[in-house]
Structure 1
Amino acid sequence: MFQNFSETEIEVDGATLHARIGGTGTPLLLLHGYPQTHVMWHVIADRLAQSYRVVVPDLRGYGQSVAKDGDFTFRAMAQDQVTLMKHLGHERFHVISHDRGARTAHRMVLDHPDHVASVALFDILPTLDVWQTMDDWLARRYYHWLFLSQPGDMPQRLIAAEPLLFLHSALVGLSGELNIFAPEALAAYETAAENPDVIAAWCADYTAAATTDLDHDRADLGRTSPIPCLVLWGKRGVVAHHLDPLEAWRRWFPHARGHAVDAGHFLVEERPEEVLTAIQQHLEKV
């Protein structure tokens, strides 16, 4: 897992980011999602590092990254990653992203278009579309969007009482089973979930997505990016139930291409070879 990767901590505005770095070549940033850490990329990071300079951080407040202010908007998280990559000497780079990391990547393209050469977005719809299609069917499956964004510290306190129960329920609820995760990866997610600061970050992240992030996205409606965009989603997941993911993302990325993968939400860990092949083919064309 992450053979020949080094570890570093970089100070950015409002956070200290933990990251692993490996390989040489064109810079490639891998962004994880909820309720995971950078470790989710362990199944393909070593292979990608054979051809690219791979940077694998924890989002602010997640994993081993430490948030120092209360800004958990995707705008702040996108700025974090641009600052991180600049610190490492990379002004322009490719981004491969999943879940919350993919929402961060979407905002990064909008706010920092000169820095992102291409983007891959895994198993999400645009944030505005999620809220606009939030009916009873979706709310039962995405209940955490509503629960984590509740005001005050009630969600944090309830989760902290049984953090592993909550984590396992979240993972199973989005994937269908727990045994898809390598023991070392699951252990990393469990360690993070037992940290009250990580729990607080989850809640702050989803609160921002229900408020400020929506304002940011509404302000940018109609803007598009011509960069290459790969969209993958789990055939057995939730994303394609209401909308065609490609059509939804083509409103932001007209050249988006992609397909469904025979997986649930955590397609990188469920179908690593298929996802790796799609990533390699995407990057070879840009």
Structure 2
Amino acid sequence: MFAGFEEIDVALPEATIHARVGGKGDPLLLLHGYPQTHFMWHPVAEQLAETHRVIIPDLRGYGDSVAKSDDFTFRAMAQDFILLMEHLGHSQFQVVSHDRGSRVAHRMVLDHPDAVRSVAILDILPTLDVWRVMDDWLAKKYYHWSFLAQPGDMPRRLINGDPILFLHSALLGLSGSTDLFAKEALAEYERAARNPDVVAAWCGDYSAGASTDLDHDRENLGQTSDIPCLVLWGSKGAVAHHIDPLEAWKVWFPNAVGHAVDAGHFLVEERPTEVLEALIEHLR
């Protein structure tokens, strides 16, 4: 996995970001989501590196990235990656993102519009829309949204009592099977989940996503970006159950295009060939 990539650790003001870097060409930032690490990109990383310089970090506090503050807002995480890319010599770049990483990418476009040349958003709705349409059906599918956001240390203590059970529950709840994950990738997700600091980052992320991040997004309602935007979602997942994901994202990205993929939530690992084809077309 990740043949030809080097691993780096870059110290930033509020985090030390762990990443893999490989390939040559236009810079391309890949952002993962919960409860994973940068390893989720292993099915497509080497192919993308044939035409791009690919940078694949762990989010602040996730995986092997270390948080230096308690700020897990998407705004703070977006700033991490602006600084990371500047450190690597890239003032402009394209972003491909999944799950929480897509929320970071969205915030990056809002806060740093001159930096992001295009964005791909995989299997999420805008944060405001998720909370707006939350009902009993979605609450059962997305129970972690409320659980991880609970105040105090209760969620962390419960998760740390059996982190692998919790991780597998999260993966199964969003995918239906852990068989779709490569053994090496699943082992990395399990290793990260055993780290109490990673669990704290999960909770910090979702706590911000239920509070400060909503305020930030409300402040930007009406702000749009005309950059190219690709939206992909799993036809077997929860994203399209209430509203059309493409129409939801066109509110923010009027030029957005996209389609459903025959998969659950983890598109890249379940349907890598189809996702890669869509990404290659988008990145041209």
Q: Common fold, TM-score beyond 0.5?
A: yes
Who is 1:154 aligned against?
154
Work out the CA distance in 1 between the residues paired with 2:2 and 2:119. 22
Who is 1:138 aligned against?
138
Who is 1:249 aligned against?
249
Q: Please, what TM-score do these two structures have when normalized by structure 1? A: 0.99
Who is 1:216 aligned against?
216
Who is 1:68 aligned against?
68
Work out the CA distance in 2 between the residues paired with 1:142 and 1:65. 25
Work out the CA distance in 1 between the residues paired with 2:114 and 2:163. 40
Residues 149-195 of structure 1: CA distance to partner in whole angstroms, max 9, x if unpaired? 00000000000000000000100100000100000000000000000
Work out the CA distance in 1 between the residues paired with 2:6 and 2:176. 33
Who is 1:31 aligned against?
31
Work out the CA distance in 1 between the residues paired with 2:33 and 2:133. 21
Say yes or no: does 1:103 pair with 2:93: no
| Deviation (angstroms), 1:11 | 1.2
Unpaired stretches in structure 2, ≥5 consecutive residues: none
Work out the CA distance in 2 between the residues paired with 1:12 and 1:112. 17
| Deviation (angstroms), 1:20 | 0.2
Higher mean C-alpha displacement, 6-15 vs 233-242: 6-15
Who is 1:5 aligned against?
5
- The one-letter amino acid paired with 1:213 is D
For 1:242, what is the secondary structure of its paired residue?
Answer: coil
- The one-letter amino acid paired with 1:128 is L
Residues 131-156 of structure 1: CA distance to partner in whole angstroms, max 9, x if unpaired? 00010010000000000000000000
Work out the CA distance in 2 between the residues paired with 1:13 and 1:94. 23
- The one-letter amino acid paired with 2:178 is L
Work out the CA distance in 2 between the residues paired with 1:78 and 1:231. 19
Misfit runs of 4+, over 2 Å: none
Q: Please, what TM-score do these two structures have when normalized by structure 2? A: 1.00
**What is the percent sequence identity of the aligned residues?**
70
* Alignment: residue pair count: 284
| Deviation (angstroms), 1:26 | 0.2
Higher mean C-alpha displacement, 35-44 vs 9-18: 9-18
Residues 21-51 of structure 1: CA distance to partner in whole angstroms, max 9, x if unpaired? 0000000000000000000000100000011
Work out the CA distance in 1 between the residues paired with 2:219 and 2:13. 24
Q: Give the root-mean-square deviation of aligned CA atoms.
A: 0.3
